[in-house]
Structure 1
Amino acid sequence: MKINTESCVISGKQTVSVSHQEIEWNNKGTLLKISRGGICGSDLHYYQEGRVGNFAVKAPMILGHEVIGTVVHTDSPELHEGQTVAINPSKPCGHCKYCLSQEENQCTTMRFFGSAMYFPHVDGGFTRFKTVDCAQCVPYPAEADEKVMVFAEPLAVAIHAAHEAGDLQGKRVFISGVGPIGCLIASAVKTLGAAEIVCADVSPRSLSLAAQMGADTLVNPLHDSLDGWKEEKGYFDISFEASGHPSSVTTCLEVTRAKGTMVQVGMGGAVPEFPMMMLIAKEISLKGSFRFTTEFNTAVSWLANKVINPLPLLSAEYAFTDLEQALIFAGDKTQAAKVQLVF
């Protein structure tokens, strides 16, 4: 079966277009009709800079890894035509040492939607139709709100970060940087039993969203003092750094109590003067958090069952044919948190 489709494509020199393509389904995997997609920071980096880190766009590539859709055809007995599914953008190899240890996010040959890590690049989900492995399809009830369900991937990132922190029941939590991921971490740790959640950001708009997503106290480091939380070797049991800014890394170490845990979620460059002695002397456990494993299924369940409401983060919706306008708006952080494309 061959289907003509339209895809949101980025090419060299940061140009984007909606191109017509033909895809083929050979009775293998699952053919999906994409209904909605969320624009992520990596999509913006590809559009604004033509790369994410060291991975530059060398050929036209379809963007998007936060997508949901409907089953058109499938070879899986566990799926059926017309079924609504969230699409896990991860495609691990299944046989490396990490996959065999249920640590699939560390797969040595991970194929992740919309990534220029490999050449040829791995196309993403901003396309009207896409064929995926059946295992990448996580069903959800047809009556669930599409606007909510498309948050499955970023929520999975947040839940994984929360799990990396360990037991959150009754814990005092600090989150530095409350873009969409930081806000979703606030909701995740609240759901998992955190007793107190303090969020810090230099954006009043972001802080306002954090309040709607579960924060108890809001702090703007440009105006508010954090000194009280730094006394006696720190106050918080757990901190999450979700901005990637060097000063934010230092702040998290300062306010985390001795023997506490800091989870690094934000992606940034080098921290020139990393406070190594503070980390050592306070015996802080520093953990990285990268993507997710089983948390994708958890995120779909939470959203379908209205455990959390991510809609305060939805800033705008655009038809997928207005891709460039959507990317421009999403890149304006004075206005936008999450922007969704409708297919």
Structure 2
Amino acid sequence: MTPVTAMKAVVVHGAGDVRIDERPRPEPGRDEVLLALEWGGICGSDVAYWKKGASGTAALAHPLVLGHEFAGRVAALGSGVTGLSEGQPVTVHPAQLIGEPPERLAGRTNLHARVRYFGSAALTPHTDGGFSEFRTVRAAQVRPLPEGVDTESGALAEPLAVALHAVGRVPALRGRTVLVNGAGPIGSLVVAAAKHRGAETVCAADLSSASLAVARRMGADTTVDISRGEELPHDVDVVFEASGAPAALGAVLRATARGGTVVQVGNLPGTAEPAVLGDLVTREITWIGSYRFVDEIDDALTALRDGLDVSPVISHRFPLEQAEQALTIAADPASASSKVMLRLGGGAPVTA
């Protein structure tokens, strides 16, 4: 049998320019693992690199393999790797710290100033992601999937970890009322994470009826369709703002109980935008940010093992070769998409 020496990868070359490139299949070095990848989930940052050539302040300086949500199976082990075996289903923690964070950030490695994150142009050279048929990964970043968790669900351990980190920013959530404003993939996963952590009732709000349907399937007790003029609930203990829309902040703060907490999960713009913030002071609201995650990917895998079902957030599936079509669907609000998945390899062909 002729050995495989090449692979396909989803590579963004600039704004509006994504290609399926052929690249050499990598070989694992010491303390590395070669993964045969099966599933990847498209994130907003992947869409931003494709549409704008940048995600936030991270701009493309050269081509980049997209993707930081992915899972597959161990294909080969480099020297020095123990505790893993060929064929084992795994996902990855996408972050690698550069240097040590300061003592004041102990336990908060997600805030370290220099991090290599799969599928990110934040540093040059960029850090290629996992939207490819194969990828080498440091063994320390590999996370075995629990028994009963398939690789499609395993690829969503990363965004679920983002949701669990957000929920963990409010340690005492059990028995409290929760509002999730913005029911995209992360918002809907926050719904599930809040219920998983014991919230008494969870309300989801969005402009899209399709997104609200997903939120209900993920465990929302009630929903608010803002496009129909429905109003947010009042006196909510904890609000997770997952839309990232400055125009929504006034209503979100008004919905928060006096002395309550707002966790900002959705990325807010880095430019000046009008927003109504008066209630932040007069209602003495605690407003805190939530960024990526620390080690909550391990908690995510435990939750998946224990039965938390992430499949309702999946709206579309495409083969790797149709990555541009998948990105187009993920970027189009009219498509009613939630999480769009790429079949990277390891199985039968997939159609949308």
Paired with 1:13 and 1:259, the residues of 2 have a C-alpha distance of 44
Q: Is the 2:242–2:265 contact (alpha carbons within 8 Å) kept by the matching residues of 1?
A: yes
What does residue 57 of structure 2 align with?
A: 54
Q: Distance in 2 between matches of 1:111 and 1:99?
A: 21
Matching residue within 38, 41, 44 for 1:41:
44
1:183 shift after superposition = 0.5
- Measured at CA, do residues 228 and 341 of structure 1 come closer, stay the same or move farther in structure 2, by a change above 3 Å? closer
Match of 1:256 in 2: 256
| 1:27 has 2:37 as partner | no
Is 1:13 the counterpart of 2:18? The answer is no
Q: Identity of paired residues, percent? A: 36
Deviations 1:186-227 (A, max 9, x none): 011011111111111111111111111111111122334437
Q: Does 1:338 align with 2:339?
A: yes
Letter paired with 1:27: R
Amino acid at match of 1:287: I
Shift, 1:276, TM fit: 4.2
Mapped partners of 1:27, 1:2: distance in 2: 21
Q: In the alignment, what sits opposite 2:193?
A: 188
> In 2, Cα distance between the equivalents of 1:272 and 1:326?
30
2:349 aligned partner: none
1:170 aligns to what?
Answer: 175
CA displacement at 1:328 relative to structure 2: 1.4
- Indicate the SS of the match to 1:315: strand
In 1, the alpha carbon distance for the partners of 2:204 and 2:29 equals 49
Cα distance in 1 between the residues matched to 2:233 and 2:65: 48
1:215 is aligned to: 220
8 A Cα contact 1:34 1:127, kept in partner: yes
Q: Determine which of 186, 204, 210 is the counterpart of 2:209.
A: 204
Alignment-derived partner of residue 64 in structure 1: 67
Determine if contact 2:253/2:280 at 8 Å carries over to the other structure.
Answer: yes
1:122 deviates by 1.1
Distance in 1 between residues matched to 2:67 and 2:94, nearest whole Å? 9
Alpha-carbon distance in structure 2 between the residues aligned to 1:272 and 1:25: 47
The whole-number CA distance in structure 2 between the counterparts of 1:202 and 1:215 is 15
Q: 2:6 aligns with which of 4, 7, 25?
A: 4
Partner of 2:242 in structure 1?
A: 242
Alpha-carbon deviation of 1:98? 5.9
Q: Given residue 168 of structure 1, which amino acid in structure 2 is its aligned partner? A: L
**1:271 Cα deviation after fit:** 6.1
**Does 1:278 pair with 2:279?**
yes
Conserved 8 A contact 1:84-1:142: no
- Flag structure 1 segments of 5+ consecutive residues without an equivalent: 230-234
Moved over 3 A (4+): 270-277
CA shift for structure 1 position 173: 0.5
Question: Hey, what's the Cα distance between the residues in 2 that align with 1:13 and 1:299?
Answer: 33
The 2-side partners of 1:309 and 1:2 are apart by 35
Taking structure 1 as the reference length, the TM-score comes to 0.93
Within 1, Cα distance between the matches of 2:233 and 2:89? 49
**AA aligned opposite 1:121:** H
1:13, 1:200 → 2: CA distance? Answer: 32
TM-score (norm 2): 0.90
CA distance in 2 between counterparts of 1:14 and 1:68 reads 26
Q: Describe the superposition over 1:238-267 as per-residue Cα deviations: whole angstroms up to 9, x where unpaired.
A: 001101111222222111111111000111
Cα deviation code 1:85-112 (max 9, x no counterpart): 1111111236222697121111221100
2-structure distance, mates of 1:2, 1:56: 33
Residues 72-81 or 147-156, more deviating:
72-81
Question: Judging changes above 3 Å, is the alpha-carbon distance between structure 1 residues 99 and 105 closer, same or farther for their aligned structure 2 residues?
Answer: farther
SS state at 1:262 partner: strand
Counterparts in 2 of 1:60 and 1:275: CA distance versus 1, 3 Å: same
Q: Does 2:156 align with 1:139?
A: no
Paired position in structure 1 for 2:100: 95
RMSD (CA atoms): 2.0
Q: Where do 5+ consecutive residues of structure 2 fail to align?
A: 346-352
The number of equivalent residue pairs is 337
Q: Is the 8 A contact 1:239 1:262 kept in 2?
A: yes
